[in-house]
Amino acid sequence: MREFATNHDVSDCVWVPKIWIHQLLLDTGGLPRALEYLFTELFGQKFTNIKEFFENLEKRIPIPSTIYANVTNDINKAYKIKAYARNHKILIHELIYRNIMVIESDMSDELQDGNSTEKLEHLERDRHLILRKLEGKDKVLIDIPYFFMYLYADVLGIFTENLNKAFLPDSDWSWNNWEIFIADFIASHITMIDVLKKEKLLKLGDFFRGAQGSDITLGLLINFEPVEIYELKHQFPCLNLSAKAEKTAMLKPGYIMINGYSASFADVFFLVDNPEPILIAVQCRWRKVSLDLETIKDEHKKNAGVSSKMKEKARKLRNDANTVSKKKGDELRYEAEQYTQLANLLSKYRIITIFITTQRFSEELECIPEDCILIHQENFDTFFGPVFSSRAKFVMTRDSNPNMSTASQLASRYKAISEDMGERIEKTRKRRTFMSHEDFCKEFPELASDDEIRSNFVYYPYHPHIESFEPNKRTRV
């Protein structure tokens, strides 16, 4: 992209701040034909409209979602991606599963394709995936560019509509979207295991790949059965499990619940009964709220005490019942009995708290308490797989990149940056971009000594930046 811009006397400050451009470039996976379709959509046939594209970019005329849709349609027409997926569903499921789970494969692996099998080495040539050779191993990883993943998933229904659209180029993300994404990702992962008839009895650390915690906690066996997602209207723990879309959840295996806004209990949770009763409580931590060992201990203690909290709620209701009319007292005693039953049910479950944070984590990982595991910025790639982790990190750092962040995003994230300072950064970006922290500090020396900014700012697309933003260094086999 820079070559096109430079050859037409267009400075970086025109196109670098546009996150959607970087997303689209990454979505091609570096495949020449996919890049060609993208550049044709941006610059016209034979690239005759390059200057016009950059002029329109300054006027905000290009619509990212339209560009995305046109490129995916072009790719689908050229390679009949959807038709192939419809006729080879089990094979495509397996490829996506191995991609997301970052499973090391042999070139000679034969994958089930209906009643026949296909060798992995043949699929790279014919199916527009990339086999990335692992250094020092006779193994490969399967990479599927997001344009192709999106088309496959659209046909197979692997992902929910939310997950399919979560990272489209002009998606407007919020805290609530992050919780939905986590729930959708877990549910889709379980669905693939079920469709492919994989072993459902897995160690916690094998399902939540890359997570860190004690060997005992990561070694817990859990039988992952398919789940349906429910967005609760109220804050659990509560008796009312009514959910959005006129649905009602039940507190038993088979339901994964997104908790009501600002609930003190987990953001996302679900129950499993085999081989032992376990309640998985997921805490989704955004960058604005710091996460350290003390917070992990406190949050887990709060989750683990949910049964005691319900018993206390029941006790208080019974006491209140003695101070009101008989009719009201009977209602309160009935409600107290419901909370007692809820407390008794929850007391049978071992609470495992899983922290998924978009932050870096610098404290001693071996000190993570029992019954807690942690997925943080540095192990995103392993858990989410290369496709989703790279896109998630654009969201994660959208408030920490002076080349892309808005004034309000910077001001709300950093104490040292006022709204006026954020506007100054935005204004400066109109005449130049920042290639490094040193480069940034030359323009804003008053921020040079701020440790929070030094530790968290990224300067994508310039080096150094978050590793996962780099296009994967692939060795074509």
Q: Give the CA distances from residue 443 to residues 21, 437, 455, in Å, rounded to whole numbers and listed in that order.
A: 26, 10, 18
| Interval 204-229 mean pLDDT | 96
Give the model's pLDDT for residue 170: 58
**Cis bond upstream, residue 275 (ω within 30):** yes
> In angstroms, rounded to a whole number, what is the distance separating the alpha carbons of residues 34 and 42?
12
Say whether pLDDT at 186 is over 90.
yes
Which stretches of 362-471 are DSSP H helices? 380-396, 407-413, 419-429, 437-443, 451-456
Give the model's pLDDT for residue 468: 38
> In angstroms, rounded to a whole number, what is the distance separating the alpha carbons of residues 328 and 335?
11
Which stretches of 305-418 are DSSP H helices? 306-321, 326-347, 380-396, 407-413
Angle value at C-alpha 266, between 262 and 270, nearest 5 degrees: 135
Q: How many helices (H) and strands (E) does the chain have?
A: 22, 15
Question: Of 38, 40, 51, which Cα lies nearest the Cα of 4?
Answer: 51
Give the model's pLDDT for residue 472: 39
DSSP secondary-structure letter at 232?
B
Say whether pLDDT at 438 is over 80.
yes
> In angstroms, rounded to a whole number, what is the distance separating the alpha carbons of residues 29 and 40?
16
Using one digit for the tens of pLDDT, what is the confidence trace for 381-416? 788 887 777 666 676 677 889 999 999 989 988 999
**Pair of tokens at residue 120:** 């992995």
> In angstroms, rounded to a whole number, what is the distance separating the alpha carbons of residues 375 and 382?
9
pTM value is: 0.83
| Interval 309-338 mean pLDDT | 96
Say whether pLDDT at 15 is over 50.
yes
Give the model's pLDDT for residue 129: 80
Question: Of 166, 232, 203, which Cα lies nearest the Cα of 388?
Answer: 166
Q: How many residues does the structure list for the chain?
A: 477
Give the model's pLDDT for residue 289: 62
Q: Are 53 and 170 a contacting pair, CB within 8 Å?
A: no
Q: Could you give the percent of the chain with pLDDT greater than 70?
A: 90
The two most distant CA atoms of the chain are separated, in Å, by: 84
Give the model's pLDDT for residue 70: 93
> In angstroms, rounded to a whole number, what is the distance separating the alpha carbons of residues 168 and 150?
10
Q: Is 11 exposed, middle or buried (0-12, 13-18, 19+ CB in 10 A)?
A: middle
Residue listed under structure tokens 């008989």: 326
Quote the distance between the C-alpha of residue 284 and its chain's center.
10
**Would the CA dihedral through 180, 186, 192, 195 be positive or negative?**
negative
Using one digit for the tens of pLDDT, what is the confidence trace for 285-297? 876 667 889 999 9
Give the number of other Cβ atoms within 10 Å of residue 305's Cβ: 14
Say whether pLDDT at 467 is over 80.
no
Q: Are 359 and 376 a contacting pair, CB within 8 Å?
A: yes
DSSP assignments along 127-140, one per residue: H--EEEEPTTSS-E
> 168 pLDDT band (50/70/90 cuts)?
low
Q: Give the CA distances from residue 255 to residues 183, 276, 413, in Å, rounded to whole numbers and listed in that order.
A: 11, 17, 34
**Pair of tokens at residue 267:** 């953001």
What are the backbone dihedrals phi and psi of residue 319, each rounded to the nearest 5 degrees, phi first? -65, -45
Q: Is 239 exposed, middle or buried (0-12, 13-18, 19+ CB in 10 A)?
A: middle
Say whether pLDDT at 67 is over 50.
yes
